[in-house]
A and B are shown apart, each in its own frame.
Chain A
Amino acid sequence: MTNTVLEIKNLKAEVEGKEILKGINLTVNSGEIHALMGPNGAGKSTLGEVLIGHPNYKVTDGKILINGKDITYAAPEERARAGLFLAFQNPITVSGVKISTFLRMAYNNLYPDQKIPLKEFFNMVKTVMNDVDMDVSFISRAINDGFSGGERKRFEVLQMVILKPKIVILDEIDSGLDVDALKLVSAEIKKMYNENVGFLIITHYQRILKDIAPEFVHVLKDGKIVMNGDKTVSDRIEDEGYDWIKE
């Protein structure tokens, strides 16, 4: 199993001239699960967007490295090809673009040497759809078009499983999922964890953390990581909120 490491070094970023990330340091290795918590508006989603290279966010300082390679200013597709994947907090609709076409194109881009025959690829997609309890009819629907909140999340997970990234950021994957779906999603995360994938799980809730037990818990407040700890941190946040953590 190859190892991958995502390093975030003193990362500062702004959007529309406003500084949101104020010097983040964080390292995620293969086979590690990190939880990232923090109050609304702290900058958690911004960190995800900056990591995948959303052009609306401007990095003003610091570095992002994957296996030592500087990707701070790389195109989103280069980062995806390096193994990075973000499950978005609010996955967007792309009208008229069929899921089957999209998945196939994405896969072929990430694995240009594999050339999986269409039928085999379809079967793989079908299997994963079963695993995340998505009806196979979704395959001919347009990306997130008319999907419910939970369906959007399942589709993010479906993509995660199919596209086989090495480092995964899950932005509130647990919000909007029903209890059964959350179990299925946790199971997928564990499977990938066992295959040496590294995770950064952004969440507000204990439920998902109970299922997958992160080794590291970080707290982001006002654009800075103000605490690094373990499960005891998330337990205390559950009871007391964020006030006890000093910036």
Chain B
Amino acid sequence: MEKRSLYNNKLLPYLLLAPQLVITLVFFYWPASQAVWMSFRMEDAFGTTTEFVGLENYVSLFQQRAYYESMATTVIFSIAVTFLAMSFSLLLAVMADKQIRGGSVYRTLLIWPYAVAPAIAGVLWLFMFQPSLGMIGRGLISIGVPWNPMLNGDHALLLVILAAAWKQISYNFLFFLAGLQSIPKSLIEAAAIDGARPTRRFWTIVFPMLSPTTFFLLVVNIVYVFFDTFGIIDAITHGGPAKATETLVFKVYQDGRLGGDLGGSAAQSVVLMVIVIALTAIQFRYVERKVTY
């Protein structure tokens, strides 16, 4: 069936879209095009003049060993955070869905992490896991784990992964819970009568029915780990020790802001943008097809 517009005014749809378009233009396309423009230019040593250098920024970027290391860190970081944030929030949502009566308290508690600013979340985790002061850090050391995220790169990476996942769980949880509650109860009952035990019910009915939500969250979470985890990393490790937690987005900041290499940093952000757009496109092309029913 075709949906027909109730309005004959040709201008109205554009007018209604205008605020959204203006915001996107001003806050996304304009800075993005600035970044692209800057990536083709290089500043002189004093930052007073710039000149057009073509692809030179990109060439030197892809010759840096550190850039590939940062990429590897990002891959580990994003897979771990996405997987942890999604699986754990799904588990919590399933539990909350069962007991939704007492759910409002539970839900409020779970929403808090999302409302906490990344820097504060970072400091919180840093503090908890601080080897000499933090509760968990001291606990780990007292049971013989040589825990030290300040010096050990792996520990540091683990800590930012946990913190970043924790920050995203609330968001995922809300969507999973809404998704779970929109599954008609009669489907679950029919499956129960059809002899499916709870675990089997989950994997054969609930999980497939949730797949549009899961897919949506997958896209959102990947964008989150690529871009929005900057604050947490900055607060906990500043990308260290020895660049062990320097993800691509953190490197953009590090090189541009602290290193003063605006052109190189712009080139990095363009690459980052391309990666995320490509990832999202792939997901829409191949995954979305399988999740609609």
Q: Do A and B bind each other?
A: no
